[in-house]
Amino acid sequence: MTTHTSLIRTAAMSASAQLSVSNVSKTYFGKRDWFSRATRKATLDYTALEDINLEIEPNTFVSIIGPSGCGKSTLLNIIAGLSQPTAGTVAIGGTPINGPGPDRGVIFQNYALMPWMTVLDNILFAIETVKPKLSVSRRMAIAQEHIDLVGLRGAEHRHPHELSGGMKQRVGIARALAIDPQILLMDEPFGALDALTRGFLQDEVERIWEQQRKTVILITHSIEEALLLSDKIVMMTRGPEARIARILDVPFSRPRHRESLDQQAAYHALKAEMELHLSQETRAVEESRIRRKAASEA
Amino acid sequence: MSNTVMHRTGDRPQRFTLNTNQKAFLLFLLILGVVLLFWEAGARLGWFSQLMPSASATMKEFWWWISNPFFDYGPNDKGIGWLLLTSLRRVLLGFAIGSAIAIPLGILIGLSEVAARAVDPFIQILKPVSPLAWLPLGLGLLKNSESTALFVIAITSIWPTLINTKFGVSHVDQSYLDVTRTLGASRWRTLSRVILPAAAPYIVSGLRISIGIAWLVIVAAEILVGGSGIGYFVWNEWNNLKITSIITAILIIGVVGLLLDRLFGLLQAWVAFGQKL
């Protein structure tokens, strides 16, 4: 089992890393001013992430998995630049980021499509915003190419409310890819979909990834999803002060197929290890919640 | 739905089944009939004051007014069509002025929390004031009855649109804003392509309330300011003791108000794109 696990990496910058997360912590400061205390509304500081270090090589598919509330999405938002870390830095190609940018394409759990724009307009809006100097015909060609890539030809002129959840997320994927980002960030992209649609879209993402091989960071709570898609799986501990527990290498050959995935060597060992980790962490989370509830009622 | 079930399970198919709409329509006709009968009987048997015309006489007059909408025999004798056009022109002009103030100001205070809090006391105090209280002030300021009517309509139109625009702009779904931030959109592009379309259903719903109130107010304003329009007509016919004309005007004012509301309802559906308010 240890052959597939690697130790937590230190902050030492590796020259080949495309994305480096160094000593990132995130604390939400509570209210402790005299007024909040006087009105009994004072809250404690909450440290969501504590000293996260992560190096991601180019063209790798990395999944981040952990118990609910462990700060996975917080970490992704920090990498996306939508949220600022309290300490530490995130660097892309050696340059620290400050804020969001089109070098990172984000796919949101709730799709975040503009309801007043058609499928085509949603994608064109992204392309126009990022590359305003492209000619109109070139923009159209890029948009159409990505609509074809996600299999939405024929639905270009529909509005999001006329699409199913799976189709909406395909638009989300097309929009994120159309701006040609260096890194694709996916925040539980299939979390709101039913199981069959989720499986279908996972297969689509696997197919698209084989074509493009972009660096991807995927937040998920599905072990199967992580094993099907990832080169590396980052397992996080429970919050508060969530850390990286360990990073697993997934050495399966590609292209991968859902039906035959469990025949890959080490599949069962990896799956068992992830299940053990997640069930331990989840149990601890639940127990601490029960204790906290009991304490607040006492 | 229940009809088909009954067809399947019952011994014999029922011959007459009415759906909810049909039942409601029959009940509507029944209520209308009872009201008209009561009115007709009351007028003939002298239950009301002598001024009150009978239902049949009123309907005859009503029909006369709507079948001759565009005659013009001088300032105090015009067809109902001209009267309505005069009033509608005033309402739409005043409404346009009010909206031209309310929408930009609403966007501004929707974007800036500081501006919103600074302007809020003015809104809270002025909003509950009856529009007619502005009339004398308008006359004093503008010394012109036509401008005063527009002024009152404009003031009336401001508040619902202003409040709704502010709400719509400040409550844009955070995920839309996250998308534009990750794309690196400029502030202007974010405003014009994301914030305004996202707020559009709220803005239109504010406009819909505003036009409704403006139409309520125009009648009162025209009664007080005088000169022309459907409100002036109501007052003029009261001076002539022509109750039939007043009832005709009431019905027509109601129908026009309904149409204006429906028009903005359509506009609302047109900008909503499946979003629920």
Q: What percent of chain A has pLDDT over 90?
A: 55
Task: Give the pLDDT of residue B200.
Answer: 95
Task: Give the pLDDT of residue B167.
Answer: 96
Smallest Cβ–Cβ distance between A112 and the set B179, B189, B275 belongs to: B179
Smallest Cβ–Cβ distance between A126 and the set B173, B183, B198 belongs to: B183
Edge to edge, the sheet with strand A87-92 lists A46-56, A19-28, A87-92, A95-96
pLDDT above 80: residue B96: yes
Task: Give the pLDDT of residue B207.
Answer: 97
* Pick among B173, B176, B181, B182 to test the A interface (most A CBs inside 10 A): B182
Residues 170-199 of B with CB under 8 A from A: 173, 175-176, 178-185, 189, 193-194, 197-198
Task: Give the pLDDT of residue B13.
Answer: 58
pLDDT confidence bin for B132, thresholds 50/70/90? confident
Cβ–Cβ below 8 Å for B175 and A112: yes
Residue B211 lies in a domain: yes
d(CA A189, CA B150): 53
Q: Within its chain, how far is the Cα of A293 from the centroid?
A: 31
CA distance B257 to chain A (A): 29
CA atoms within a 13 Å half-sphere pointing along the CA-CB vector of A295: 6
Q: Is B269 on the interface with A (CB under 8 A)?
A: no
d(CA A263, CA B113): 58
d(CA B109, CA A132): 30
d(CA A182, CA A59): 9
Give the residue on B whose Cα is nearest the Cα of A78.
B182
d(CA A88, CA A265): 38
Between A and B, how many residue pairs show a Cβ–Cβ distance under 8 A?
Answer: 65
pLDDT tens-digit map of A246-283: 899 998 888 888 888 888 888 899 999 999 998 988 88
Residue B47 lies in a domain: no
CA distances from A74 to A77, A185, A241, B155 (A): 5, 12, 12, 47
User: How much is the mean pLDDT over chain B?
Assistant: 89
Task: Give the pLDDT of residue B277.
Answer: 60
B263: CATH: 1.10.3720.10
* B215 class by beta-carbon count within 10 Å (0-12 exposed, 13-18 middle, 19+ buried): buried
pLDDT confidence bin for B145, thresholds 50/70/90? confident
d(CA A19, CA A58): 8
Cβ–Cβ below 8 Å for A106 and B200: no
CA distance A59 to chain B (A): 21
Task: Give the pLDDT of residue A7.
Answer: 40
pLDDT confidence bin for B6, thresholds 50/70/90? very low
CA distance A174 to chain B (A): 13
d(CA B104, CA B244): 44
Provide the residue type at B258 as one letter: L
Backbone torsions φ then ψ of B119, nearest 5 degrees: -85, -20
Range of the domain at B272: 80-276
Give the residue on A whose Cα is nearest the Cα of B199.
A116
Provide the residue type at A248 as one letter: L
CA distances from B194 to A15, A219, B139 (A): 40, 27, 42
- Chain A residues touching chain B at CB-CB below 8 Å: 80-82, 99-102, 104-106, 108, 110, 112, 114-117, 125-126, 129-130, 159-162, 179
Rg (CA), chain A: 21
Q: Which of A73, A82, A83 is nearest to B181 (CA)?
A: A82
Residue B246 lies in a domain: yes
Cβ–Cβ below 8 Å for A82 and B181: yes
Pairing of strands A87-92, A95-96: antiparallel
Cβ–Cβ below 8 Å for A116 and B184: no
Smallest Cβ–Cβ distance between B182 and the set A104, A117, A159 belongs to: A104
Crossing angle of helices B196-225 and B145-170, in 10° steps, is 160
Residue B262 lies in a domain: yes
pLDDT above 70: residue B180: yes
* Pick among A82, A106, A116, A121 to test the B interface (most B CBs inside 10 A): A116
- Bridge partners of A87, per DSSP, are A25
Q: In this structure, are residues A116 and A162 in contact, taking their beta carbons and an 8 Å threshold?
A: no
Report residue B216 as tokens.
């309520």
Smallest Cβ–Cβ distance between B275 and the set A80, A104, A115 belongs to: A115
Residue B93 lies in a domain: yes
pLDDT tens-digit map of A89-99: 999 988 999 89
Which residues on chain A are in Cβ contact (under 8 Å) with B189? Answer: 129
Q: Which of A238, A49, A83 is nearest to B174 (CA)?
A: A83
Which residues on chain A are in Cβ contact (under 8 Å) with B201? Answer: none
CA distance B277 to chain A (A): 13
Report residue B232 as tokens.
């002036």
* Pick among B179, B193, B270 to test the A interface (most A CBs inside 10 A): B179
Q: In this structure, are residues B111 and B168 in contact, taking their beta carbons and an 8 Å threshold?
A: no
pLDDT tens-digit map of B232-272: 999 988 988 888 889 999 999 999 999 999 999 999 999 98
Task: Give the pLDDT of residue A77.
Answer: 93
pLDDT above 80: residue B221: yes
Rg (CA), chain B: 25
Residue B193 lies in a domain: yes
Task: Give the pLDDT of residue B14.
Answer: 62
Q: In this structure, are residues A257 and A12 in contact, taking their beta carbons and an 8 Å threshold?
A: no
Residue B130 lies in a domain: yes
When pLDDT is averaged across residues B101-126 and rounded to a whole number, the result is 95
Q: What percent of chain B has pLDDT over 70?
A: 94
Q: Which of A177, A114, A105 is nearest to A147 (CA)?
A: A177
Q: Per the structure, how many domains does chain B have? A: 1
Provide the residue type at A97 as one letter: I
Residue B16 lies in a domain: no
Give the residue on B whose Cα is nearest the Cα of A100.
B182
pLDDT tens-digit map of A19-29: 999 999 998 88
Q: At A59, is the secondary structure helix, strand, or coil? A: coil
Cβ–Cβ below 8 Å for B182 and A100: yes
- Residues in chain A with pLDDT values less than 50: 1-13
